[in-house]
Structure 1
Amino acid sequence: MSDLGEGAFAEVSTHKMENGEEVAVKRILDKFKYHENYTNRFKKEVQMLEKLSGHPNIVPLLEVRINEDEHEYAYVMAKARCNLSEFIGKNYGQLTDVHKIRLFDQVVEAITAAHSNNVLHRDLSPNNILINDRGTVWIADFGLGKDYDIRSIGGKSSLAGHGTDVYVAPEQLEKLRYATERSDVYSLGKIFYFILTGKTPPHVIVSVNKF
C-alpha cells in the first residue's frame, strides 16, 4: 500500500531494507503493468534518473527492480523527510528570505542540470520537490519527463495528462508535447512564488509585492 503518494500510473511507499534503512519504492500500479505505454514511460523515467544520477539535487536512485518477464516495474530511491509543499506549510513563518532563496537555488540547479542533459521534467510542483533530513532539495518524479537523447521518445509522451495544472505553462496545458525548456522555467517561476509567499500561485501572477 502506498504511504508516500500515488500519481497517474505509479505509487510510492516506504520500504525497510535488511540493514534497517528506510527507502522509498516507486512501483507501477497493478492495473497498468500490462499496458505498454505505461511500462515504457516507467522505464524511460528510470533511464532519465540514471542519466542524472549523482547530482546533489536529484533524488538518488538506489536500485532498479525491472523484470519484464514477471511484469515487475519498480525502483528504489532515497527517502526524503517531506516534500516542499509540506515543508513550506509547516515552516513558512520561520523561514528567512535567504533560506527561501537557497531552497529555490537548489531547484534551479537541478533543472539546469536536467536541461544540460536534454531532459525536461514537465511536472514541476511543490509535491515533486523533496527535502531530505539535512535540508537538501531533491527533484523527483520524472514520470512526465522526456529525454531528447532517447530516440524512442521522439520528444513526445504516449500518456494522457499534462502535469499539475496551477504550475503548468499554457502551451503544455494545451498539449504535453508542446512543452519545452521554457515550460519548465515557467513552472520554476510559479514555484518561486509559492516559496516566497507560502501561497498557491494564481493561474496568472501579476505581482508578489502585496505579500
Structure 2
Amino acid sequence: MVVRKVGKYEVGRTIGEGTFAKVKFAQNTETGESVAMKVLDRSTIIKHKMVDQIKREISIMKRVRHPYVVRLHEVHHGRLSESESRRYFQQLIDGVDYCHSKGVYHRDLKPENLLLDSQGNLKISDFGLSALPAEGVSLLRTTCGTPNYVAPEVLSHKGYNGALADIWSCGVILYVLMAGYLPFDEIDLTTLYGKIENAEFSCPSWFPVGARSLIHRILDPNPETLLVLNSLPVGNNLVQRIRIEEIRNDEWFKKNYNPVRLPETEDIDLDDV
C-alpha cells in the first residue's frame, strides 16, 4: 500500500467531499495527532475566482481558537523541487547581499515578503521593518520580525548583527521551500523561542545531503562563534554561522548559479521623490 504524505502528515481516507474540496483523514507523524485535512484543487480555485475567499477563510481560522470551533493547525502550499528551491534561494541571496552592501538590513524576510515577477524571478519586498545602522553603531537592538523566521540573537535583546540575522531568515526560507513546512513551529511562543535559540530542528529524509549541510551551517544559533575560537582547546568543533560569501562558494548552492548583473544606476535623491 502506498502511503501519501503531505509535509509531516500521512493522508488517509476521504471523510467528506464538497464542490471545491475534499476532506481527508490525516495523522501527524511526529505527534500521532489525528486531524481533518481540507484538500483544495488549485486550478479549480483560480478558475472560479475563489482565491480571496480562501485567503479570508484561512485568516479567520487563524484568529479563532475555542474548544467548540474547528482549529486550523497549518496551511500547506506544497514543497518545491530541489532545483526550484535552489534557484529561488540563489536569487534571494543575491538580493539580500545587495541590500547589505547598501547598509540595509531587511529584518522580516519570509516567503510572504518574496514576490515573483512575470519572468518567474524573485523580488524581495516589504522593507517596513528594515534598518540602516546608525553612524558608529555596528549592532541593532530592536526586536522585530516574524517569530518563526527570526534569528536567536534577535530574541536575546543584547544587540545583533543585522546581516547575520537576515542570513538566518534566509536559511529558514530555504528549509520551507524544500520541506513545505517550518523548521521551528510551536503554538507556545516560549517553546518556539527555546527551539530557535537551540536550533532544535531536523531535516526531512528527502533533503539532499548538500542542502541539508548548507541549512545546518546557516541555522547555527551562535553567529559569532569564531570570535572566541582562539580561547578554546585545539580540536574544538565549534563553527560560526556561514556568511554570504561562503554560501556562494557552497557546492550545492553553486549548481546552475548565474550571478545577477547589475545595471549602472544613478543614486536617487530623496528630495526629488
For normalisation by structure 1, the TM-score amounts to 0.48
Q: Which structure's CA Rg is the greater one?
A: 2
| Greater RCO (CA < 8 Å, at least 6 residues apart) | 1
TM-score normalized with structure 2 length: 0.38
